[in-house]
A and B are shown apart, each in its own frame.
Chain A
Amino acid sequence: MNLRAVWAIYRVEMARAFRTVLQSIISPVISTSLYFVVFGSAIGSRITEIDGISYGAFIVPGLIMLSLLTQSIANASFAIYFPKFVGSIYELLSAPISYLEIVIAYVGGAATKSIMLGLIILATAALFVPLRIEHPFWMVAFLVLTAVTFSLFGFIIGIWAKSFEQLQLVPLLIVTPLTFLGGSFYSIHMLPGIWRTITLFNPVVYLISGFRWSFYGKADVSVGVSLGMTLVFLAICIAIVAWIFRTGYRLRN
């Protein structure tokens, strides 16, 4: 195991986050605060509570997931797309480093950043609403699992993308809509019958539901199913990454 290489990549990725601290950390904090002001007070004045939880507190897990998903994808896809774009990827490909090590370093870096971000949002939220976390272990588990899974997903997008447009296509056209429709701001029980069924095909619903359960002990779908779905998505991403590296897809051709 070339741990020095993993560490070298990881450090550069973290350094990038601190260099672009405004973009990486402050802007999500501001946008989260805005969500609170807009959704929390505008809608919160009409819906006072869901499942016995105040509306402001109810949306916190969803908001964290929202940022966690988009930032994991953005961080990881950019981290691998950028060297491809400027050509400096040659060095990575010529280094005595295994595929597994490359993935650990890049995905680890991206996931670390988005986990830190999730925690910052959590701290920001605590300033607005009273929070409680009933299952801290599972809270952290969902946080880490989601960050890793979607960083892997971002990594795949970064390797697949041939242009900046493509890089933003998947997050914009698929991930963001799925996240907004994933029950961040409402309980899916509030939807009329047919929509509730359709929503169950949205994988983000399971992530948010499971994550919210770890806070308040209340879930839209059972927590076992949430965990299972997350692991399935993780397995799919790992399989795709393994295939990419076995074939050299868009890397060594």
Chain B
Amino acid sequence: MQLHETPFGLYQVTSFRQSFQPMPSILSISGVSKTYATGFKALKEVNLDIQRGEIFALLGPNGAGKTTLISIICGIVNRSSGTVTVDGHDINKDYRAARSLIGLVPQELTIDAFESVWRTVNYSRGLFGKPANPAFVEKVLRDLSLWDKKDAKAITLSGGMKRRLMIAKALSHEPRVLFLDEPTAGVDVELRQDMWAMVRRLREDGVTIILTTHYIEEAEEMADRVGVINRGEIILVEGKAELMRKLGRKQIRIELREPLSSVPDGLSRYALELSGDGTELTYTYDNQSDRPGVASLIRDLEASGIQFRDLDTKNSSLEEIFVNLLRQEP
């Protein structure tokens, strides 16, 4: 894979392509760096454009800088350099306009435990300068199965319910951009499904959603585009399908009519794996490698007199792509 040698090459191609999109990006991050007081460089010259209405997954291992990046955009942490605009509003010069567009569901469950659910959510709405709208807040609570608990104090809620409450707070002021920082870490199946249903509904309403996750299946299931961040650097940004196509590995399993005792020499350049009982050959290749393609393999199988019963191919998951990418990092 050539990616690590020119990590920004791929990215630049992406942003070039973006400049031809009819709609300007809703979130634009350019040259953002963050050095914490400890001297630790958590972000290094991050550039990223998020398109209006998309679901963007920011993938990265622990400590990559995902939360730091989100915190900077939302105004929770000061950046060391760079600029960020939300729908054209600079997050500093025009912080009111920028922030009122954003909803944030942070990674940690952090709620004033002694307030009721109803008060907590209405407080959030007020904080963002929106006029009281009990009907809307009721709808948010109902959508999140929190309506029954509206008079309960946050401290009495289960972990999953607290997470729902955090989401309700973020949605209470009708944001146009929603950040979900590791939304499903430690969350049960039901909540996860509810959450994805909600994300899809929001997207239909034109809300842009940016989520971070370690669960790559989630990015795979939900995201339109994926950004990979590692050690404070964005290593690549790609449409999910393109990413899978470009970086995904393919495997071909060939079921043989007659078992083989070993792989014939004529096929050595394919580095085939033979199963224990000798009835199956596996060929692994990725779209970027210069290994020969399927057509030539089939020709060569025939030339070696090997007959096969069946053949099936499998694309690698985003997880495998991700692991591969990080392995490539110096």
A interface residues, Cβ below 8 angstroms from B: 2, 4-5, 7-9, 11-12, 15-16, 19, 82-83, 86-88, 90-98, 248, 252-253
Inter-chain contact B112/A83, CB cutoff 8 Å:
yes
B108 contacts partner chain A, Cβ-Cβ < 8 Å: yes
Inter-chain contact A95/B99, CB cutoff 8 Å:
yes
B interface residues, Cβ below 8 angstroms from A: 36-37, 71, 74-78, 95-100, 102, 104, 106, 108, 110-115, 119, 122-131, 169
Cross-chain pair count, CB within 8 angstroms: 85
Return chain B residues, CB-CB under 8 Å to A2.
Answer: 96, 129
**Closest Cβ of chain B: how far from A167's Cβ, in Å?**
17
Inter-chain contact A86/B111, CB cutoff 8 Å:
yes
- Given A88-B110, A94-B76: A253 touches B129 (CB 8 Å cut-off): no
Residue of A nearest to B98 (CB): A96
The 10 A-B pairs with the shortest beta carbon distances in the complex, nearest first, are A8-B126, A87-B110, A96-B96, A94-B74, A96-B99, A96-B100, A95-B127, A2-B129, A252-B78, A93-B76
Q: Of A4, A86, A87, which is within 8 A of B126 by CB?
A: A4
Q: Of B76, B96, B114, which is within 8 A of A19 by CB?
A: B114
Residue of A nearest to B72 (CB): A252
List 12 A-B pairs, Cβ < 8 Å.
Answer: A7-B126, A19-B114, A87-B106, A90-B74, A90-B110, A92-B127, A93-B75, A96-B95, A96-B97, A252-B77, A253-B36, A253-B37
Cα of A2 to Cα of B96 in the assembled complex, Å: 9
Cα of A226 to Cα of B100 in the assembled complex, Å: 44
Cα of A82 to Cα of B114 in the assembled complex, Å: 11
Q: Of B78, B113, B128, which is within 8 A of A96 by CB?
A: B128
Residue of A nearest to B153 (CB): A19
Inter-chain contact A12/B123, CB cutoff 8 Å:
yes
Q: Of A9, A15, A94, which is within 8 A of B104 by CB?
A: A94
Return chain A residues, CB-CB under 8 Å to B78.
Answer: 248, 252-253
**Closest Cβ of chain B: how far from A151's Cβ, in Å?**
20
Return chain A residues, CB-CB under 8 Å to B125.
Answer: 8
Cα of A43 to Cα of B31 in the assembled complex, Å: 70
- Given A2-B129, A12-B115, A83-B112: A91 touches B77 (CB 8 Å cut-off): no
Inter-chain contact A252/B76, CB cutoff 8 Å:
yes
Return chain B residues, CB-CB under 8 Å to A93.
Answer: 74-76
Cα of A91 to Cα of B74 in the assembled complex, Å: 9
Return chain A residues, CB-CB under 8 Å to B95.
Answer: 96
Return chain B residues, CB-CB under 8 Å to A96.
Answer: 95-100, 128-129
Cα of A4 to Cα of B131 in the assembled complex, Å: 7
**Closest Cβ of chain A: how far from B265's Cβ, in Å?**
64
Return chain A residues, CB-CB under 8 Å to B114.
Answer: 16, 19
**Closest Cβ of chain B: how far from A75's Cβ, in Å?**
15
Inter-chain contact B127/A91, CB cutoff 8 Å:
yes
Inter-chain contact B126/A91, CB cutoff 8 Å:
no
Cα of A149 to Cα of B130 in the assembled complex, Å: 31
**Closest Cβ of chain A: how far from B147's Cβ, in Å?**
21
Inter-chain contact A90/B99, CB cutoff 8 Å:
no
Return chain B residues, CB-CB under 8 Å to A16.
Answer: 114
Cα of A11 to Cα of B111 in the assembled complex, Å: 17
Inter-chain contact A5/B127, CB cutoff 8 Å:
yes
Residue of A nearest to B110 (CB): A87
Residue of A nearest to B111 (CB): A88
Q: Of A4, A86, A94, which is within 8 A of B113 by CB?
A: A86
Cα of A88 to Cα of B114 in the assembled complex, Å: 12
Cα of A11 to Cα of B36 in the assembled complex, Å: 35
Q: Of A86, A95, A97, A98, which is within 8 A of B110 by CB?
A: A86
Cα of A76 to Cα of B76 in the assembled complex, Å: 21
- Given A96-B96, A96-B97, A253-B36: A15 touches B119 (CB 8 Å cut-off): yes
Residue of A nearest to B99 (CB): A96
**Closest Cβ of chain B: how far from A153's Cβ, in Å?**
23
Return chain B residues, CB-CB under 8 Å to A92.
Answer: 127
Inter-chain contact B129/A91, CB cutoff 8 Å:
no
Cα of A252 to Cα of B34 in the assembled complex, Å: 12
Cα of A91 to Cα of B110 in the assembled complex, Å: 9
Inter-chain contact B112/A82, CB cutoff 8 Å:
yes
Return chain B residues, CB-CB under 8 Å to A94.
Answer: 74-76, 99, 102, 104
Cα of A12 to Cα of B111 in the assembled complex, Å: 13
Return chain A residues, CB-CB under 8 Å to B37.
Answer: 253
Return chain B residues, CB-CB under 8 Å to A88.
Answer: 110-112
Known: A248-B78, A253-B36. 10 other contacts (CB 8 A): A4-B130, A5-B127, A8-B125, A9-B123, A11-B123, A86-B113, A90-B71, A90-B104, A94-B74, A97-B127
